[in-house]
Each structure stands twice: as C-alpha cells, then as structure tokens.
Chain A
Amino acid sequence: MSGLPGDPEASFPTTVSATIALAALLGACFVGAASPIQTAPLLLTGIGLAAFVAGVVLRRRRFRLGGRLLTGLGFLLAVTALVGAIVLSPPIVTLFALLSCGIGALVATLGLFPVSTRIVRPLVRTGSVLVFVGVATIAVVDAPPVWRSAMAVSLVFLSWDTAERAITLGEQVGGTAETVSVELVGAGSGVAVATVAVVLTVAVARLPIPIPIPVPTTGSPLLGLALLLVAVVAFILALTHTPQRPTSTENEGNPE
C-alpha cells in the first residue's frame, strides 16, 4: 500500500502549494521574457489569472456569486491579453514563445484551481511543458542573459514539482485537511534545488571550453558537452530503473 484508502471530501489541489506553483510558473514567464512586448501581455495575463484564482478561492468559501464573477472576469482578462498580443503582431517566433508561455500558464491555472478535479494532472503537465517550450524559445531567439533563462527553466521545474505535491495532497488527504507544514517544507527544498540548478548552469556557462584551432571536422565542443549530458542522463536513468533492495540500515528501527 502506498496510497491512503478512500477519497477525501474535497480532493482539489491544496491551496498553498497550488498558489506557490502558479507563482513560480508566472515567475518563469516573466524572468524568461526578454522584451516589453512579451512582458506586457504576460503581466495582464498574470493579473487575470490572479483574479481567476481569487474567484475560485471565494467559491470554495461559499461566496458563490462573487467567486463566479471574479473567476469569469479573470479568465476573460487573461484570454483578452493573449488575443491582444496576437493583434500587436510581433515577429512570429516571439509570438509563438509568448503564446506558449501565456497559454501554458492559463492551462496550468485551470489544473491547479480546477472547477472539476478530473483532468487536473494532464492540465498541469501540459501547462508546464508549454511554458518550458516558450522559455526555451525565448532563450534561443532573444538571447537573454543565461542566468535569466536558467532561472526561468528552474522555476518551471519548481512549479511542476510543487503542483504535483498539491495534486497528490489534494487527492490523498483533501483540501480541508491540515497540510501547510508539508507544503512549505517541500516548496523550501524545491527552492533550494532550483537555486543550485541556477548556480550550476551559470557556472557551466562561464567555464572556459578550449576550442582547438582549427576545429576538427569529426566533432565540436558543443557535441562533446551534449554527449556528457547524455551520459549523465543515461546514468540517472539506469539508477532509476535499478530495483532497490532492503538493507539492514533501512530496516533499522522497525518493530518487526
């Protein structure tokens, strides 16, 4: 058994983690954005999503009419901001990145603060992927400083991790149970890992990679770094799929 039996009363994602996850995702969008033409629509979208979230929270607290009104207005504002960005007709790649981030944030918000709890996980996953793609596109096209792109990607992963925790806690103990300590500890460790990720990325970016002159035709430093990353990934994958055996240390302290 690795799940709790039965279903809790209110199985929507827990509010604290969902809020942190959404904040991290919007933060990723803003940090990753390189120009005002991207930031302005995203800011409006963010405001709309904040109103949407406030409406959902109000609805859960029995303020149904005000909650519905705020939810509708917030959603409308977010969509209008994205449509407005299309009207401004920026370059197609910039527009693609902007829409990817904006739609991603919108979809993830619908997953984190759902009206129905059925398709929460696919929505959050889709939203995170879209924001990741958008941030990566901006990094390639507009070439912002490395630390900003690294921070944006790290925030996407932090958001996804926190969102998964919110969904899990919601499904297992419910939105009405006391869960704040677990959520804060989880988010705190996620922030620490994200910080390490940013520092490591910036450090690797500043590593002097000697480029032989002339560059050999058989390969390049880029390919070498890629192969190194692939090796690391393969190593982690191997670790993931190696069955863990119980050890005496693991059993220490168990009554029987």
Chain B
Amino acid sequence: MNPNATGQKTRGQDTVHQDTTDQDAVDQDAVDQDTTDQDTTDRNTNSIRRTTRWNSALVAALLASGTGVLLEEPILLLLSIPAIVFAVYSHATAVPIPTLEIERTISADSPSHGEAVEVTVTLRNTGRQTLTNVSLADGVPRLLAVRGGSARHATVLEPGGETTMSYTVVAKHGIHRFEPAAVVCRDTSGSTAVGTTVEPETETVLACRSPIQSVTFGRLVHTRPGTTVTAVDGSGTEFSNVRAYRPGDRPSRIDWNRYARERELTTVRFREERAQPTVLCLDARQCCYRAATDGDPHAVAYERFAARELLDAAADSNEPVGLSVLGTGQQWMAPKTGSRHIATVRRTLADPETLPLEPPTVHIGRTDRTTGDEQGRELRTRIGRQTGVLLLSPLLDEVPVELARTLQAEGNPVTVLSPDVTAERSLGTAVARVRRRNRIATLRRAAVPVVDWDPETPLESAMRAGVNR
C-alpha cells in the first residue's frame, strides 16, 4: 500500500497551547507522578514542567555526607560527590525548544468500513537545537483503533532532522478527524519536560461514508397506508374527485373522455402528496455507550453516523426532518426543510456536548430509565400527531421499546433503526444479545418496523432489508 498514492497529505507546525493547567489535569503526566514540586509556565506555544526527581540525588548526598561527619568516615563524604555531580548534571542540560513541523499521510481518505488504512507521520525539527528526547503521540480519532504498529514514537532529532512512523487503523463508519499530535520534549537529564501540540496545515479527515440512495423516509417510516395521508386535494397520483373546469386548470387534468362524450369540461383532482415530517430520535443515554469489542465504536457513534447519512438523504429529497436526542440533556429541533435547517441539524449531530464521545455522567438519584421515561414523555408532547419518528437505539433496555410502542399507539408512525453492538464473548454478553432479539421481536409484534443493523454491513442494505421485511 503506497501512502502517497491515493491518500491525503497534510503538513503543519506547532499550535498554540494556552491552558496548561487544564491540560495538566487531564493529561496525567506519569513521568511527574512522583514529583512533589513543579514549576509550570507558559512560553507562548509550549508548557514547561520542571521535575524534581533529581532532588533525590541531593538528599542522598546530604545523608551520605552527614553520616560521614557523624561517623568520622571520609569515604562517605567522598561518596556524596557522585550524587552532587548527577544533581549538577540535571541543571547543566539545556531546556529543549521544540520547533517542529508535522506531515501526516493516509493511504485512503474515503475507505470502506473495515478497511485498513495506513497512516504515515513525519516529524521534522526546524529549529537549531538538537532535541535529545522527543516523544510523540499522534492524534488518532477516538473511534478508530490502531491495529498495526504504534501511534507513539520517541526519537532524537537533530536540527533539520526528521523521523517517520507509520501505523494502521481500521476504518469505521463515520467521518473521523485526526487531532493535533501531542509532543513532549525532555532534556537529556529528564529534568525538564516541554509539552506542545503539532498540527498539520490542513486537517486530516478519514471519511468512511455509506450514502443512502434508494431508501427514503417515506419508505422507511411512513409505511402504513392510511396513517399519513393528507386531507388536502391537489396534484398527487391518488384519485380524489371530479369538479367543473375552472380557467387555469392544467389541460392534462381535463377529463377529455367525458368532454368527448358529454361536451362538458371537467377537471379530475387527485389527492395531494406531501412529504411527511420525520423526527430522528437518537437514544444517547449512558447505557447506549456500549461496543461489541474493545476498540470498536459504541452504539451512539453508529447512531450518529446513521443519522448523518439519513439527514443527507432527507436533504436530497427535501423531506422535513427534526432531531431529538435522549440523553443527559434532551435536544429538540422541530422538523423543517431547507439547507440552513439541515446544516444546523448536522452541526448538532457533530456537537460533542450534545452527543459526547464518552458516556455522559448520570446524576445521583437519576437512572437511564428515569431519564428515558421523562424525555420520552417530553418528546410525545412536542411532536405533531402524524409526525413520523425514526428511533435510533441499540435496544439495550426496555425504554426505547416502550417509547416506540407508545408513540405508535398515539398515531405516530415509528420505525426503529438499531445498530447491533452485542456480542457473544461471554455468558453475560450472550444473554444481552438474546434480550435484544426479544425486544426486536416485541416491537415487530406491535407492528413497529425494526431495521436490525449489523455495523459490519452497509447501512443501506440493512435499511432495504428492513423496509422489504
């Protein structure tokens, strides 16, 4: 696989890293876990931390010399000299000044799900100082697992020197943006650590798309005859009535047979077809942050991906789409059409506060069930009577089942799209898989269509199978 053949190449320099305090809180520096005193300062682009580990050498020197005086043993005094030399060494080394550029190349920027993508990263020292200890961690998107090689590297970089590392990630459904690479430079003695981030000039994006072309919301959600038909007559295809011709009626709608027979102009009217509004309802409660195996995306990530593809399909067919997110804080957007609305929904789906990549914290006294029940009730009060609901949920508990059945009973056409994140690794996971299948069966018995989506298969084929079921 040639990384430069089809892939995108990005290159860039250090980026400003302002809030060292917060970052230090998040990025627990294992090196400095043992330090009791540290001096962290910002130097425009870098954060500096001076470790105090060499104080141990000073303590050893003091103890040895003190004991030597106490015991009147000159040899102990002499043996404190190596300790002092090592302590001086920690101050004799220069503080590293990381001036770095990075290039990142991926072998395929639009891979299919499950395809291995080789990522090649080149880090270049553009400064005039030799960096004797450069540790690099590339900003691999959180939902992509590294399968071959390591996304981390440590090397020595002379002025103008560069190092290249490569690793392989397995593409998963979704659009994955690489984050800036984190770099820590240490001096030779390891007494000073300078942290920074290095970002390519252009963003590296791995887009693993699965566009939906042959299935519409109309086919997917509004499938039951009689439930979503409008009462307004118009220019559809279903016959409505016949009335006397009025000037302005289209000639194609004139009943010419009747005119030939009775010499009377009449206009045939058909029931008007209107695209029915649909709400994409994402189940993003804490219990939905489950993955089939370690390193695989969780169900909420798959829900987000499916919602994004469905949104694009709805935008193409100009169908009104709304959004509702069940989670720690409910998000509601009423169904509308228009590019601006679609863009807003798309931004909301990408917002990490609305759909975080990590499981949200459940407040004390609240459970996923109470949250789901309350937000389900709120959703029912907000949506219109014939608004369709496409509920995206892994069906890992009873809440989405009850919500779908209630909505269906209240006259809202409901279809459930359920990414399967269950596995059979153990007895517990096997039981979870059986219970999910039982929930799907319960929904289908209640006439709620369910698209059971195995994320290893394309989304569209799963939807087509669900529609034709």
Does B345 belong to the interface (CB within 8 Å)? no
Is A177 touching B153 in the complex (CB atoms < 8 A)?
A: yes
Judging by beta carbons under 8 Å apart, are A254 and B33 in contact? Answer: no
Instruction: Determine whether A29 belongs to the interface, using a CB cutoff of 8 Å to chain B.
Output: no
Among B87, B150, B152, B156, contact of A181 (Cβ-Cβ < 8 Å) = B156
**In the bound complex, do residue A250 and residue B182 qualify as a contact, i.e. CB atoms below 8 Å apart?**
no
Nearest A-chain residue to B92, judged by Cβ: A193
Most A CB contacts (10 A, CB to CB) among B45, B67, B84, B152 go to B152
Chain B positions within 8 Å of A115 at CB level: none
A171 B31 Cβ-Cβ under 8 A: yes
Say yes or no: B79 contacts A153, CB within 8 Å.
Answer: yes
Residue total for A at the interface (Cβ-Cβ under 8 A): 75
Q: Which residues of B contact A243 (CB under 8 A)?
A: 39, 41
Tell me whether A255 and B190 are in contact in the complex, defined as CB-CB below 8 angstroms, given that A3-B29, A169-B135, A171-B30 are known contacts. Answer: no
Q: Which residues from chain B contact A149 at a C-beta distance below 8 Å? A: 75, 78-79
B75, A1: Cβ atoms under 8 Å?
A: no
Chain A 230-256 interface residues, beta-carbon cutoff 8 Å to B = 230, 232-233, 236-237, 239-241, 243-246, 250-256
User: Which stretch of A40-48, A50-58, A157-165 is in the interface?
Assistant: A157-165
Picked from B20, B43, B182, the residue with its CB within 8 Å of the CB of A5 is B182
Instruction: Encode contact with A along B1-35: 1 for CB under 8 Å, 0 otherwise.
Output: 00000000000011011001001101111111110
Partner of A172 from the list B14, B30, B34, B126 (CB cut-off 8 Å) is B30
A168 within 8 A of B: yes
Is B82 touching A172 in the complex (CB atoms < 8 A)?
A: no
Main secondary structure of the interface of A (DSSP, over half): helix
A245→B136 CA distance, assembly (Å): 26
Q: How far is the CB of A230 from the nearest CB of chain B, in Å? A: 7
Which of B48-56, B373-381, B444-452 lies at the binding interface?
B48-56
The answer on a CB contact under 8 Å between A236 and B88 is: yes
Q: Within 8 Å of chain A (Cβ to Cβ): is B188?
A: yes
Interface residues of A in 120-177 (CB under 8 A from B): 121, 125, 132, 136, 139-140, 143, 146, 149-150, 153-154, 157, 160-161, 164-165, 167-169, 171-174, 176-177
B193 at the interface (CB under 8 A from A): yes
| Contact of B78 with A204 in the complex, beta carbons under 8 Å | yes
Looking at the complex, which of A18-26, A62-70, A218-226 is the stretch in contact with chain B? A218-226
How many whole Å from B468's CB to the nearest CB in chain A?
A: 43
For B74, the chain A residues whose CB sits under 8 A away are: 222, 225
- Determine if B58 and A140 form an interchain contact, defined as CB atoms under 8 angstroms apart: no
**A150-B20 contact given A9-B150, A173-B154, A244-B48, CB 8 Å threshold:** no
**Set of chain A residues within 8 Å of B280, measured between Cβ atoms:** none
Interface size bracket, B side: 35 or more
Q: Which residue of B lies closest to A181 (CB)?
A: B156
B58 surroundings in chain A (CB, below 8 A): 233, 236-237, 240
Query: B286: CB under 8 A from chain A?
Result: no
Which of A167, A193, A239, A255 is within 8 Å of B85, CB to CB?
A: A193
Stretch at the interface among A74-82, A99-107, A182-190: A182-190
Whether A1 contacts B182 by the Cβ 8 Å rule is: yes
Residues of A within 8 A of B424 (CB): none
A interface footprint on B93-125 (CB within 8 Å = 1, 0 otherwise)? 001010100000000000000000000000000
Q: How far is the CA of A9 from the CA of B69 in the complex (A)?
A: 49
CB of B30 within 8 A of CB of A1, answer no
Q: Are A182 and B189 in contact (CB under 8 A)?
A: no
**Do B195 and A244 touch across chains, with their CB atoms under 8 A apart?**
no
Chain A residues within 8 Å of B55, by CB: 237, 240
Min Cβ gap A240→B in Å is: 6
Q: How many angstroms from the CA of A223 to the CA of B66 in the assembled complex?
A: 10
For residue A66, give the distance in angstroms from its CB to the closest CB of chain B: 26
Residue among A1, A196, A226 having the largest count of chain B Cβ atoms under 10 Å: A1
Q: Is the CB–CB distance between A230 and B65 below 8 Å? A: yes
Q: How far is the CB of B99 from chain A (nearest CB, A)?
A: 4
Known A246-B41, A254-B97; judge A189-B23 contact (CB<8 A).
no
Closest approach, in angstroms, between the C-beta of B160 and any C-beta of chain A? 12
Assuming A1-B195, A2-B194, A172-B184, is B154 touching A201 (CB within 8 A)? Answer: no
**B77 on interface, CB distance cutoff 8 Å:** yes
Beyond A226-B68, A253-B99, A254-B14, 11 additional contacts (C-beta under 8 Å) are A2-B32, A3-B24, A4-B135, A125-B34, A140-B75, A146-B78, A173-B135, A182-B133, A197-B82, A197-B85, A250-B95
B residues with CB within 8 A of A: 13-14, 16-17, 20, 23-24, 26-34, 37, 39-41, 43-50, 52-58, 60-62, 64-69, 71-89, 91, 95, 97, 99, 126-129, 132-137, 146, 150, 152-156, 165, 182, 184, 186, 188-190, 193-197
Cross-chain pairs A/B with CB under 8 angstroms, 15 sampled? A2-B27, A4-B135, A150-B81, A161-B189, A169-B135, A179-B153, A186-B188, A196-B85, A222-B68, A226-B65, A229-B80, A232-B84, A233-B61, A246-B43, A255-B99
